[in-house]
Structure 1
Amino acid sequence: MQSRYQKMVYIDAIEFDNTAGNPQAIIEFTGLPISVEYTNEGVQVRVIRGAYSVLNAKLGELIIKEANGLLRVCTRAELEAEYDLVD
């Protein structure tokens, strides 16, 4: 007989808003170097995970740290559809 189980998983998130102190907060959150770029499409932050591994987040997007430590980017709507705010 098949059974299904659910596990509550906590994640941490930080929004890229390019305000004073926000780039430093992202560095402290990820523990990785970043660069802020001003492109034709707007402002974005690049989290540098390695020589060939970069995470790009546009202005207003969230950088998520999964329970296993992996980083990803999502919008606030995507985050709220999947998770409930704890605090």
Structure 2
Amino acid sequence: MVKLYKKNVYVQTIKFDNTAGNHQAIIEFTGWPISVEYTSDGVQLRVIRGAYSVLVAKLGELIVKGADGSLRVCTREALETEYELVE
């Protein structure tokens, strides 16, 4: 008989809001260098993990660090469909 098990996984997040101190906080959170670009589409942040591995976050998006240390970007709404906020 097949059984289904659920595993709770904690993730950490930081929001890119382009305020004073936010850039340094993201560097400390990710452990990688960043660059900030001001384009005609708005402000975006790049986490530079390697020459061909760049994570791009737009203003207001969250950088999510998984339990295994992997990084991804998503909106708060998308994150709340997968995870429950722990205070």
Asked whether the two chains share a fold, i.e. TM above 0.5, the reply is yes
SS at match of 2:86: coil
1:8 corresponds to? 8
Q: Which amino acid aligns with 2:19?
A: T
TM-score (norm 2): 0.99
**Using the alignment, how far apart are the partners of 1:52 and 1:83 within structure 2?**
29
SS at match of 2:32: coil
Deviation at 1:60, TM superposition (A): 0.2
Q: Which amino acid aligns with 2:79?
A: L
**What is the number of residues matched between the two proteins?**
87
**Using the alignment, how far apart are the partners of 1:84 and 1:41 within structure 2?**
31
**Using the alignment, how far apart are the partners of 1:78 and 1:19 within structure 2?**
23
Provide the aligned C-alpha RMSD in A.
0.4
1:5-44 aligned at under 5 Å gives the runs 5-44=5-44
TM-score (norm 1): 0.99
**Using the alignment, how far apart are the partners of 2:22 and 2:51 within structure 1?**
24
Q: Which amino acid aligns with 1:13?
A: T
Deviation at 1:4, TM superposition (A): 0.5
SS at match of 1:13: strand
Percent identical residues: 72
Task: Give ranges in structure 2 of 5+ residues lacking alignment.
Answer: none
**Using the alignment, how far apart are the partners of 2:43 and 2:21 within structure 1?**
15
Runs of 4+ aligned structure 1 residues displaced above 6 Å come to none
Task: Give ranges in structure 1 of 5+ residues lacking alignment.
Answer: none
2:55 corresponds to? 55
Q: Which amino acid aligns with 1:85?
A: L
